[in-house]
Structure 1
Amino acid sequence: MLNNMDEIQKLSKDQMDMAMESFGSMAKGFQAIASEMADYQKKSFEESSAAMEKLASSKSLDKAFEAQADYAKTAYEGFVGEMTKIGEMVTDMSKEAYKPYEGLMSKVGK
């Protein structure tokens, strides 16, 4: 399979290149996820602040309960949507990180 030292060195270099490419893809993916989470946290904070203002300015108990229910529904839907988006980003990041290794077994088998 591997007949001489040159082939071993080339294989080692190829593997290191694949690992570096994979790590680069993962780093970019984690940066994108961190940015998305920061944006979501900012948006969530702004929405909760607005909901608290609305709750505090309610004239009746019914309006306060309505404001709280609206906020809870909006917050839940936003959270589920954001987690779905983050899940998709993690899946895409994993696929990108795996790409350099796709042809590894075919190279080793030759």
Structure 2
Amino acid sequence: MINGFDELQKASKDSMDVATKSFGAVSKGLQAIATEYADYSKKSVEQSTAAFEKMIAAKSPDKAFEIQADYMKSAYEGMIGEFNKLSDMYMDLGKEAYKPYEGLTAKASGK
């Protein structure tokens, strides 16, 4: 009975260690994602402000429309690129959060 209790206690400790590592990976990943969102938001505001200033300084309506079209194109391309980057970051977050559990699942399945 004591041997079974020791094994249960060790399994419980191992599970807590794995959960702690997983939570650490999630925390680190979410922090990186939040930083990326903040950086992109700051960059986006700076670019839109610069485009607005250029539009106001334009000498003709045609030039203003050209500046707006260029800004919209670059903003769209930047947004798609950022979404792809964030998607990859979320995928990596999931992988890193699961990594600590791989050892437990291997032990549980007897491999």
**When the two structures are superposed, what TM-score results if normalisation uses the length of structure 1?**
0.93
- 1:78-89 counterparts in 2 under 5 A? 78-89=78-89
Partner Cα distance (2:108, 2:33) in 1: 34
% identity of equivalent residues = 60
Aligned residues: 108
Partner Cα distance (1:105, 1:32) in 2: 28
| Equivalent position of 1:94 in the other structure | 94
- 1:52-91 counterparts in 2 under 5 A? 52-91=52-91
| Equivalent position of 1:36 in the other structure | 36
Runs of 4 or more, structure 1, over 3 Å off, are none
Give the counterpart letter for 1:66 in structure 2. Answer: E
| Equivalent position of 2:108 in the other structure | 108
Query: RMSD across aligned C-alpha pairs, in angstroms?
Result: 1.1
Give the counterpart letter for 1:47 in structure 2. Answer: Q
Could you tell me how far 1:61 is from its partner in structure 2?
1.1
Q: Secondary structure at the match of 1:42?
A: helix
Could you tell me how far 1:59 is from its partner in structure 2?
1.1
Which structure is higher in helix share? 2
**When the two structures are superposed, what TM-score results if normalisation uses the length of structure 2?**
0.92
Please, which runs of 5 or more residues in structure 1 have no aligned partner? none
Give the counterpart letter for 1:45 in structure 2. Answer: V
Could you tell me how far 1:108 is from its partner in structure 2?
2.4
